[in-house]
């Protein structure tokens, strides 16, 4: 966990562990900088995106969520991150399945989510608003820097 001393810092979270995180942050005296919102991420993001004052205000966003909605998160998050800001997506190699032949043996859940992760990877590669870098660390992390 990183902390900062600037008053302008704002963090939003839709993680189900919000209560635990909130307690940890109170001990660091930064809770006033955190906007915790508990609930399913897409409706919460829709609420945040609907308020245009949030557009272009986030420096960094990290996504480790339901893979079948990664593309939906990207469609919303790109409006929130500022130019020069970064969005990170976890699990973008998805157990190596994204480079495996379609008929390769895979566990059911890997095969099910594989197409969603592939869809995201293709969309990120084609998105002219971002530059991307895929890091082959763990299960893969794709870093996207918004350029326009």
Which tens digits make up the pLDDT trace of 26-85?
Answer: 666 667 777 777 788 999 999 999 999 999 999 999 999 999 999 999 999 999 999 999
Confidence class for position 13, pLDDT limits 50, 70, 90: low
Q: Which of 76, 57, 81 is nearest to 131 (CA)?
A: 81
CB-CB contact of 31 with 22 (8 Å): yes
Instruction: Give the Cα separation of 24 and 95 in Å (integer).
Output: 32
Q: What pLDDT does residue 2 have?
A: 40
pLDDT digits 0-9 by tens, 69-91: 999 999 999 999 999 999 999 99
* pTM as predicted: 0.82
Instruction: Give the Cα separation of 60 and 82 in Å (integer).
Output: 9
Helix (H) / strand (E) containing 25: helix 18-27
Q: What structural domains does the chain harbor?
A: 54-146 (3.40.50.150)
Instruction: Give the Cα separation of 141 and 110 in Å (integer).
Output: 17
Q: Which of 40, 146, 136 is nearest to 90 (CA)?
A: 136
Question: How far lies 32's CA from each of 9, 36, 51, 55, in Å?
Answer: 10, 10, 20, 21
């Amino acid at each position: 966990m990183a902390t900062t001393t600037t008053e302008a810092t704002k963090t939003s979270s839709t993680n189900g562990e919000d209560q635990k995180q909130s307690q940890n942050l109170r001990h660091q005296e930064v809770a006033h900088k955190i906007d915790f919102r508990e609930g399913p991420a897409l409706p919460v993001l829709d609420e945040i995106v609907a308020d245009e004052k949030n557009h272009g205000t986030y420096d960094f966003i990290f996504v480790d969520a339901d893979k079948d909605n990664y593309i939906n998160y990207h469609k919303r998050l790109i409006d929130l991150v500022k130019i020069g800001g970064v969005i990170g997506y976890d699990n973008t190699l998805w157990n190596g399945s994204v480079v495996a032949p379609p008929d390769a043996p895979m566990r059911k859940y890997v095969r099910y989510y594989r197409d969603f992760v592939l869809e995201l990877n293709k969309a990120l590669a084609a998105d002219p608003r971002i530059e991307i870098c895929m890091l082959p660390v763990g299960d893969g992390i794709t870093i996207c820097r918004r350029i326009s």
